[in-house]
A and B are shown apart, each in its own frame.
Chain A
């Protein structure tokens, strides 16, 4: 979705369409980058409404109110008849503002995986929640923020780094068209952040990007390597396939 909205925004003809009748635009299926959300609002006059869901929940779990005026960086509030919990690795409930695994219970949660009771058991808690594998936190107003996929987390010298955050920062650079952040083995820090970038501006250099990242990120999160490519591998809905970048 982010990729699709991004591609539309990059086309000059799209800017000439009439958006006065458009009531709302919804995004889900992947994280929306702040830069895309802000350009969408600027061009169409309407904020991008972000939600969250997964295949196992048919898919919608949370969604933003349709009358928000600005992109708020959250995936919104749980739908009616949907319970959510944020839990640590031992299954304990965490409090407001703490990051942990997002768990979901509701009528939209699947019956299980076909012929895979072992896989079903791995994602089901004893009190009937589905473990999503996504790291999230809930703020004081109840809005849910997705931090990242648990399995995409990069551990630099014991510190957790979430690729979404790095990608969001890199995308703020006007010379960048697309980016994927991944971990690569590092002799000193176990893992280090590497970014794979598709240029918008042909003159863009690795040094300029690293300098840009230093301005917005604590040092351990700053990418050690920058690789330029002409395109990035993606899933059918346009999510950058981080696994394929490694």
Chain B
């Protein structure tokens, strides 16, 4: 499905965030670099769990798609987790790698017991926004708004390094089977005990097709704009916004912090014809 969208909608914008766009082709290239790094540098086998801990940023789809295409299982983590909650989820899932936005790196530092986690990849909010915006946003987040508490993780590698090295590494897309687990999606379920629901590639593709069958007559391939305010680490936005609208070549406007209502409304004003602020 991913390849199909890249082939059909390559030069169109796939994701927009804080005024920057990445096209379907760029998404393919960047996530390829990331996937190559997972495969060749980190030697992650298909089926390895890779945790993602970040709000709605361009880095999210980049990291997610190639972790999936490298055959890994994605474990979505809520960026607002406490160290105790994160520790439980990392150890229960047996995640070997985590991609985490720097703003929450101190939470990971607070997790003392994480025997299986071998690799930490950090990213700054503004990475992937392009120069000079990237530098401005990263500087502002760190020094002006003081959104990045001090952290120290000796094993951490920066996402920019990963993408740079990954660009030079060989890359062999894995072909996940439909019954392979794409996501371990944590939920309290009906009993309240947190546990990972195993969602397979087949589950996700089926739900996208089912939703598409419902929506198609209202949507124009390559023409739509969808506003994603709900967090992508949550299953609703993941399927309904990220995957369904990827299939139809839409531009997906990512809102990193919908609690900041005035900023959210400013963003909506830039895109006058959203299909669905879901």
Interface on A for B, CB 8 Å cutoff?
1, 4, 7-8, 11, 13-14, 17-18, 21-29, 53-60, 63, 66, 79-82, 106-116, 119, 122-123, 131-133, 150-151, 236-237, 243
Contacts and interface: CB of A to CB of B under 8 A. Distances in A.
Interface in B180-218: 181, 184-187, 189-193, 195-200, 202-204, 206-207, 210-211, 213-215, 218
Given A60-B211, A113-B197, A236-B80, A4 B239 contact: no
Question: Chain B: interface secondary structure?
Answer: mixed
B234 A29 contact: yes
20 contacts: A8-B265, A11-B261, A21-B272, A22-B273, A22-B277, A24-B276, A53-B236, A59-B236, A59-B239, A63-B214, A81-B206, A107-B207, A110-B197, A113-B189, A113-B195, A113-B196, A113-B197, A115-B196, A236-B234, A237-B236
Contact of B78 (A8, A109, A236): A236
A28 B278 CA distance: 8
A25 B277 CA distance: 6
Contacts of A150: 190
A58 B275 contact: no
A119 B236 CA distance: 22
B230 interface: yes
Given A25-B277, A110-B197, A114-B195, A57 B207 contact: yes
Interface of B: 78, 80, 92-93, 179, 181, 184-187, 189-193, 195-200, 202-204, 206-207, 210-211, 213-215, 218-219, 229-231, 233-236, 239-240, 258-259, 261-262, 264-265, 268-269, 272-278
A24 B230 contact: no
Given A113-B196, A122-B191, A236-B231, 4 more contacts: A13-B265, A110-B199, A113-B198, A236-B234
Which of A13, A108, A237, A243 gathers the greatest number of chain B CB atoms within 10 Å?
A108
Contact of A112 (B198, B235, B273): B198
Contacts of A108: 203, 206-207, 210
A63 B196 CA distance: 25
Given A7-B261, A114-B184, A237-B234, A107 B202 contact: yes
Contacts of B78: 236
Given A26-B278, A114-B196, A133-B190, A4 B235 contact: no
A60 B210 contact: yes
B210 A80 contact: yes
B92 A114 contact: yes
B70 to A, nearest CB: 19
- Pick the 10 closest A-B CB pairs, nearest first: A21-B273, A133-B190, A107-B206, A114-B196, A79-B210, A55-B187, A108-B207, A58-B207, A111-B198, A26-B278
Contacts of A27: 278
A66 B210 contact: no
Contacts of B203: 58, 107-111
Contacts of B268: 14, 17
B76 to A, nearest CB: 10
Contacts of A24: 218, 275-276
Contacts of B184: 114
A130 B214 CA distance: 22
Nearest to B211: A60
B218 A55 contact: no
Nearest to A15: B265
Nearest to A44: B277
Contact of B195 (A29, A109, A116, A151): A116
Contacts of A18: 272
B193 to A, nearest CB: 7
A20 to B, nearest CB: 8
A79 B211 CA distance: 7
Contacts of B204: 58
A59 B240 CA distance: 8
Contacts of A1: 230, 236, 278
Contacts of B198: 110-114
Contacts of A66: 214-215, 218
Given A22-B274, A24-B275, A122-B191, A58 B239 contact: yes
A8 B268 CA distance: 11
B99 to A, nearest CB: 18
A25 B278 contact: yes
A241 to B, nearest CB: 11
Contacts of A151: 190, 192
A66 B202 CA distance: 26
A135 B272 CA distance: 39
A53 B213 CA distance: 17
B211 A56 contact: no
Given A53-B236, A114-B195, A79 B213 contact: yes
